[in-house]
Amino acid sequence: MTTDPRRAVPRTDAVLAEPQVAAAVARLGRDLVKAAVQAAQQRVRGGELAPDDVVPAVLAGLPGTAGSLHPVLNATGVLVHTNLGRAPLSAAAVEAVAAASGTTDVELDLRTGRRGPRGEGALSALLAAVPAAEAALVVNNCAAALALVATALGGELVIARGELVEIGDGFRIPDLLVSSGARLREVGTTNRVSLADYTDALGPDTGAVLKVHPSNFVVRGFTRSADVAELAPALAGTGVPLVADVGSGLLRPHPLLPDEPDLQTTLAAGADLVLSSGDKLLGGPQAGIVLGRADLVQRLRRHPLYRALRVDKTTLAALEATLRGPVPPVRRMLDADLGGLQARADALAEVLRAAGVAATAVPATARVGGGGAPEFELPSAAVAVPLAFAEPLRAASTPVVGYAAGDRTLLDLRSLAPEDDERLAAMVLEVARRWT
């Protein structure tokens, strides 16, 4: 007599009651764990899994968190990789997010028991980091900051034709500005714009003169531009604000990036407002930073659109910790010593070769990424493994993203924290074991 295989399948309630599975339910939620139980039961019905192995199979099939995002090892050599979440947060910022994730005093003055200024700590940290600013505002990204400026200042925005740029995923600055209701007054040509082009365009409807750093491209050859230091004196006394979108969030000049505009220098040169991202070279969470004249910042803060663009408590906490805490990972990557990178690559390659993997330490070229310093190359060091490793590395228990170079996959170490080297080696060995 044939026994119905369905009789051997453990009941759902019995599996969910197992102590380890019940603990997973408390951590991940019942629905997610129940789905893993049902998948294991189906494997028993199909003869792929023994009934006694259901609980281990369920536990093995559960994700590390209830979310769908995976921690990834960035071995691309792109320090601020847009597809990988841009700037990794510092340990201090992660701790601050955890502390802020519960009930906090984000808008409460604990001394008086009354409502207090929102995000005062983060705003104070920004002003301390950029002394040329009178006031600060934080919104959810740099595009939001630009939209708020265009909406609140209103009227006609004077902008050079060469700065009507397109960035990632087909996003175009002029489309954003026009969607706010602003009118664009384009001046100059794509490659040349003079001071007179700007001043001749001013009129009673001018809301602001806008400078947008091209970020992800460079125009060379027969070119001319008017920088903030040239524009500011010409606009003095006109009542027209000069707004500069510097993009990458560099707080102060960096010796490796002499052509990358920074917040402090741009304000000191005469900009009335500067805008930047928080998750690029600043090294913090996704945010749009607005710094500058107190009256203009207050005008933005009181505009109704600000309410729709303001950030949450965890972003404020991460931003403050990034500014006040230790050097964030992006800055450590940027400043990494080439000799140290080469030593790490040599050590990793040796470990992998000892385990039978064809690995060598090779020179590499890293980049800033995120639209910053588009032509600037950073000398780096990488571990080269077989080209066929690229796809399975992305499917490893901790995914690893490198890049193909000829017949090899390169794992660049400048974009990877030194404390992740051991994990990187483990993932390469995990892939190698699948093939042996």
299 and 341 assigned to the same domain: no
Give the integer Cα–Cα distance in Å for 277 and 54.
48
Same domain, 113 and 229: yes
- CATH code for position 413: 3.90.1150.180
Is position 66 within any domain?
Answer: no
Computed on alpha carbons and rounded to an integer, the radius of gyration of the chain in Å comes to 27
Q: Are residues 347 and 313 in the same domain?
A: no
> Where do we find the tokens 């003095």?
236
Within 335-401, residue ranges assigned H as helices are 338-354, 390-394
- Residue 359 sits in the same domain as residue 210: no
> Do residue 261 and residue 402 come from a single domain?
no
Please name which of 238, 233, 186 lies closest in space to residue 212, comparing C-alpha atoms: 186
Helix (H) or strand (E) holding 208: strand 206-212
Residue 131: inside a domain? yes
H or E segment at 429? Answer: helix 421-434
In a domain, 352, yes or no: yes
> Is position 68 within any domain?
no
SS3 call for 385: strand
121: domain CATH number? 3.40.640.10
The verdict on residue 24 lying in a domain is: yes
DSSP state of 76: S
**What burial letters (b/e) apply to 287-321, b meaning 16+ CB within 10 Å?**
bbbbbbbeebbebbbebebbeebbbebbbbbbbbb
Is 67 a domain residue? no
Which pairs with CB-CB distance under 8 Å and at least 24 residues apart come from 22-25?
24/58, 24/59, 24/62
Q: Check whether residue 216 and residue 238 sit in a common domain.
A: yes
Domain identity same for 233 and 118: yes
51 is in which domain, residue-wise? 5-61
Where the chain has pLDDT below 70, the residues are 1-7, 168, 215-217, 371, 374-375, 435-436
Whether residue 404 sits in one domain with residue 320: no
Q: Is residue 280 part of a domain?
A: yes
Tokens of 317: 């906490």
Integer Cα distance of 173 and 170 in angstroms: 10
Which pLDDT score, from 0 to 100, does residue 4 have?
57
Domain tally, the chain: 3
Give the SS3 label for residue 393: helix
Rounded Cα distance between 180 and 175, Å, is 9
Residue 346 to residue 359: CA distance in whole angstroms: 10
Residue 134 sits in the same domain as residue 282: yes
Does residue 23 sit in the same domain as residue 162?
A: no
- Whole-model pTM: value is 0.88
CA 231 – CA 236 distance, rounded (Å): 9
Alpha-carbon distance of 280 to 325, in angstroms, equals 17
pLDDT at 215: 67
| N-terminal to C-terminal alpha carbon distance within the chain | 42
Within this chain, do residues 211 and 156 fall inside the same structural domain, yes or no?
yes
